């Protein structure tokens, strides 16, 4: 038996247990990660500084989540850099719990040292810990002062929140689309998701087919996520085009037009691309893209 959070224990002393509290917190956050602060910087020794901040931590779905405040401080020391290869160290935060075998109930930060390599990989996050950031330590380093961040941190998402634009690429280049019946990749972005998300993938470009008022043309667009075409609808344009696509009409004036699709991307690494193909039909003019061609991936919220 348990009471609700905000209600006093009943006459038998039954109230909100620590696990119940963690379950309630877990329902409010769709992922672990940083809420605020916790910036990591190198030092003149072999420790890392971790600024004050708050993180959402978890030992697993069955255990819910905790909201952990770190007042600022240092990690333990790592080894000096390898003489030949760089390595990646992973800085993490953990909410200790004596009822689950820890020595105390304090919030701690730590670092897991990676393996030197020509193209080093980050070490795994220890069980029950939440990754703060990875730090790339150069070969031959005698301190962490020159360590850099190879990619961004993971941030915790409140339930239902949209994270806005996740990735975007602008290609600012005049480009005449070949009419050779081949798909050409124009934009590509990579992104990392900490939870399953619904996203909107959008392409927008300004195009013209010449200065003659009598001219008209078109080009084809495919949006792809991890190699899978997102466009819907049957291919009714020509038998030589494989898969679904959108056809964008173009005339004399350099008008901005685009297409977008919603899709679900699971937790993890993803690549999203925009591909174009010229229309080789005899009654259409060649199409030139002017100015910015833009591919954007926007978060629409958590997928359930």
Residues linked to residue 256 through DSSP beta bridges, in sequence order: 206
What's the mean pLDDT in 245-256?
A: 89
CA torsion through residues 260, 262, 266, 267, sign: positive
* Percent of the residues in the chain that have a pLDDT greater than 90, as a whole number: 73
pLDDT in tens, 38-69: 999 999 999 999 999 999 999 999 999 999 99
Where along the chain do its domains lie? Answer: 18-137, 165-302
Across the chain, mean pLDDT equals: 93
What's the mean pLDDT in 237-255?
A: 82
pLDDT band at 222 (very low <50, low <70, confident <90, very high): very high
pLDDT in tens, 253-286: 888 999 999 999 998 999 999 999 999 887 888 9
Give 165-302's CATH code, choosing from 2.60.120.1340, 1.10.10.10, 3.40.190.10, 3.40.50.300: 2.60.120.1340
pLDDT band at 141 (very low <50, low <70, confident <90, very high): very high
pLDDT, residue 238, reads: 65
């Amino acid at each position: 038996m348990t009471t609700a959070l905000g209600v006093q224990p009943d006459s038998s002393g039954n109230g909100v247990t620590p696990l119940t509290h963690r379950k309630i917190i877990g329902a409010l956050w769709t992922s672990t990660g940083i809420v605020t602060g916790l910036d990591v910087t190198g030092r003149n020794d072999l420790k890392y500084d971790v600024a004050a901040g708050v993180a959402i931590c978890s030992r697993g779905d069955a255990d819910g989540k905790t909201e952990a405040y770190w007042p600022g401080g240092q990690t333990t020391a790592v080894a000096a850099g390898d003489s030949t290869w760089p390595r990646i160290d992973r800085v993490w935060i953990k909410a200790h719990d004596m009822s689950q075998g820890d020595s105390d109930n304090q919030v701690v930060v730590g670092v897991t040292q990676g393996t030197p390599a020509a193209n080093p990989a980050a070490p795994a996050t220890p069980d029950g810990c939440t990754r703060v950031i990875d730090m790339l330590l150069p070969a031959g380093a005698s301190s962490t002062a020159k360590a850099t961040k190879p990619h961004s941190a993971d941030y915790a998402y409140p339930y239902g929140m949209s994270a806005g634009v996740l990735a975007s690429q602008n290609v600012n280049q005049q480009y005449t689309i070949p009419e050779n019946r081949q798909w050409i990749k124009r934009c590509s972005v990579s992104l990392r998701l900490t939870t399953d998300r619904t996203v909107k993938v959008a392409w927008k470009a300004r195009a013209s087919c010449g200065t003659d008022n009598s001219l008209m043309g078109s080009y084809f667009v495919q949006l792809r996520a991890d190699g899978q075409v997102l466009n819907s609808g049957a291919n009714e344009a020509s038998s030589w085009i494989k898969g679904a696509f959108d056809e964008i009409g173009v005339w004399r004036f350099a008008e901005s037009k685009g297409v977008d699709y919603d899709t679900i991307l699971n937790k993890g690494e993803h690549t999203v691309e925009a591909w174009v193909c010229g229309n080789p039909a005899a009654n259409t003019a060649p199409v030139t893209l002017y100015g910015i061609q833009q591919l954007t991936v926007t978060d629409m919220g958590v997928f359930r």
